A = this chain, B = another copy of it.
Amino acid sequence: MTEASLDVVGIGNAIVDVIANAEDAFLAREGLVKGTMALIDAERADALYQMMGPAIEASGGSAGNTMAGLASLGGTGAYIGKVHDDLLGQIYRHDITAAGVRFETPAATSGPGTARCLILVTPDGQRTMNTYLGACVELGPADIDPETVAAARITYLEGYLFDPPSAQQAFRRAAAIAHAAGRQVALSLSDPFCVGRHRAAFRDLVAGHVDILFANEAEICSLYETNDFGTAAAAVRRHVAIAALTRSAAGSVILAAGVEHPVAAATVARVVDTTGAGDLYASGFLYGLTRALPLPICGEIGSLCAAEIISHVGARPEIKLSQLLAEGGA
């Protein structure tokens, strides 16, 4: 096994977020489930956008956010995802590259435009997401660059990638390349409904191909079809080397080698927008892990990064996370 030249390669849906404030009544009227992600088609995206308030646009995508956060901490990373060669695609490429992440997946020149996620932020800071996958459906196994994957200590896959049809093959190909190169594979379950849509495939993947699993309570419970967090936690620890389970304001718990490490959430003066909380937790955790830091410290760095992201609108860090870390947050 050669020395890894990258900390993490992240693979995910390359999405530009369109973020607006909304009242709870708006969610109710439109039948949206708070805190979750729904897939929508182009027509619905246009209609929903018409109804939304003034918005800001910012690059997003779960694994993209995680990679931007990792780079902001000082980690080295690459990203694999599919944009279209249009204005939003150019914005996406600019933002992730300018964040310090290598991004070489070619843009699609035919087919649908770059993906958008219409995010409604309610007064409680919770986000409700509506994703039009657009060009993400064009991602396939051919986009997985074997050298990049083999060069990274960890290949990080977002669960959302199971939604576009051919991405699952890309996903499995990346995991196989990583393991053949003696690397680790990490997976984020992303969303309880996403888990519901692909439960069998996720269970198969977790049981046989995942070393490090990220999930929140709703997601891990959905995976094992239980309402009890303890039951779900007991199930997952049989399958993966490390499970980092996040519990919002209650912090997180890390399960590894038969030991359970509770980690407190970092303090936040005011929760403005929870978009990206899980993604940035993963940034911090993976940063620590690729530096062989103790697991509770990995979790604390994750909490610190999550706390930064929920203190403002948008899912990419507004300050250098390396500086935040140096200032002694963790």
Residues of A within 8 A of B (CB): 20-21, 49-50, 52-59, 68, 86-88, 91, 94-96, 98-99, 312-314, 316, 318-319
- The chain B residue sitting closest to A273, CB to CB, is B318
Chain B residues contacting A57 (CB-CB under 8 Å) are 56-58, 91
Q: Pick 9 A–B contacts, CB within 8 A, sort by A.
A: A49-B94, A54-B316, A56-B57, A56-B58, A56-B314, A57-B57, A312-B312, A312-B313, A313-B318
Determine the distance from Cα of A54 to Cα of B91 in the docked complex, in whole angstroms.
9
Q: How far is the CB of A253 from chain B (nearest CB, A)?
A: 31
Specify which of B50, B68, B87, B91 is in contact with A94 (CB 8 Å cutoff). B50
Chain B residues contacting A94 (CB-CB under 8 Å) are 49-50, 52, 54-55
- The chain B residue sitting closest to A50, CB to CB, is B94
Chain B residues contacting A58 (CB-CB under 8 Å) are 56-57
Q: How far is the CB of A298 from chain B (nearest CB, A)?
A: 24
**A56 near B56: Cβ-Cβ < 8 Å:** yes
Q: Main SS of chain A's interface residues?
A: mixed
Q: How far is the CB of A260 from chain B (nearest CB, A)?
A: 36
- The chain B residue sitting closest to A21, CB to CB, is B318
Other A-B pairs, 18, CB within 8 Å; known A54-B99, A55-B98: A20-B98, A21-B318, A52-B94, A53-B99, A54-B59, A54-B94, A54-B96, A55-B91, A55-B94, A55-B95, A56-B56, A56-B57, A56-B314, A57-B57, A57-B58, A57-B91, A313-B313, A313-B318
**B54 near A95: Cβ-Cβ < 8 Å:** yes
Determine the distance from Cα of A58 to Cα of B313 in the docked complex, in whole angstroms.
12
Q: How far is the CB of A271 from chain B (nearest CB, A)?
A: 14
Chain B residues contacting A52 (CB-CB under 8 Å) are 94, 98
- The chain B residue sitting closest to A99, CB to CB, is B54
- The chain B residue sitting closest to A269, CB to CB, is B269
Q: How far is the CB of A276 from chain B (nearest CB, A)?
A: 13
Q: How far is the CB of A134 from chain B (nearest CB, A)?
A: 13
Determine the distance from Cα of A95 to Cα of B56 in the docked complex, in whole angstroms.
9
- The chain B residue sitting closest to A90, CB to CB, is B49
Determine the distance from Cα of A52 to Cα of B94 in the docked complex, in whole angstroms.
9
Q: A313-B312, A313-B318, A318-B313 are in contact. Are A53 and B98 (CB under 8 A)?
A: yes
**A68 near B95: Cβ-Cβ < 8 Å:** no
Determine the distance from Cα of A255 to Cα of B68 in the docked complex, in whole angstroms.
49
- The chain B residue sitting closest to A57, CB to CB, is B57
Chain B residues contacting A68 (CB-CB under 8 Å) are 54
Chain B residues contacting A54 (CB-CB under 8 Å) are 59, 68, 94-96, 98-99, 316
- The chain B residue sitting closest to A94, CB to CB, is B49
Chain B residues contacting A91 (CB-CB under 8 Å) are 55, 57
The winner among A87, A96, A319 for most chain B CB atoms within 10 A is A87
Determine the distance from Cα of A50 to Cα of B88 in the docked complex, in whole angstroms.
15
